[in-house]
Amino acid sequence: MDIEAWVWWLIGAAGLGIPLVITAMPEFGMLAVGAIAASGVAGLGGDLVAQVLVFVIVSVALIAVVRPIANRHRFQRPELATGIDALKGRQAVVLERVDGSGGRIKLAGEIWSARSLDTDTSYEPGQQVDVVEIDGATAVVL
């Protein structure tokens, strides 16, 4: 029983898929795609040199193009701020006098405890303040 070359390439692609799943290294997936491309060349009647060249070119091209993009996205911070980070820099309205020892503000539709960043400064009800940071359950305003 003689197995055709394209079948061997597909077996190789499946074999490269196993370490991809086990190690989560995307490079194995890129090599598997190269093997599938070589299988296509073999199925169209290409000789062994053409098959190997297609495998190498497709695999190297995918690794050279996709890997840097994936690395760039892996280390980027998400652009959408959530939780406490989403509240920093927002404006709030003073509900009860805010000074260095405390007070109340309305921030993002909720009532928060607040204190002034500068202990000598106080804000009266109705004034707009900027949230500088969140310290526990207290907004620090300026």
pLDDT of residue 2: 63
Please say if the pLDDT value at position 26 is more than 60.
Answer: yes
Mean pLDDT of 99-108: 92
Mean predicted confidence (pLDDT) in 92-111: 93
**Whole-number Å distance between alpha carbons of 45 and 85:** 59
> pLDDT for 115-131, tens place per residue?
999 888 999 999 999 99
The CA-atom distances, in angstroms, between 49 and each of 32, 37, 45 are 18, 13, 12
Mean pLDDT of the chain, nearest integer: 91
> Of 31, 35, 28, nearest to 9 (Cα)?
35
What was the pLDDT predicted at 20? 87
pTM of the model: 0.54
Compute the distance between CA of residue 137 and CA of residue 113 in angstroms, rounded to an integer: 7
47-98 pLDDT, tens per residue? Answer: 999 999 999 999 999 999 998 888 888 777 767 777 888 889 899 999 999 9
**73 or 110: which leads in pLDDT:** 110
CA 48 centroid distance within chain = 40
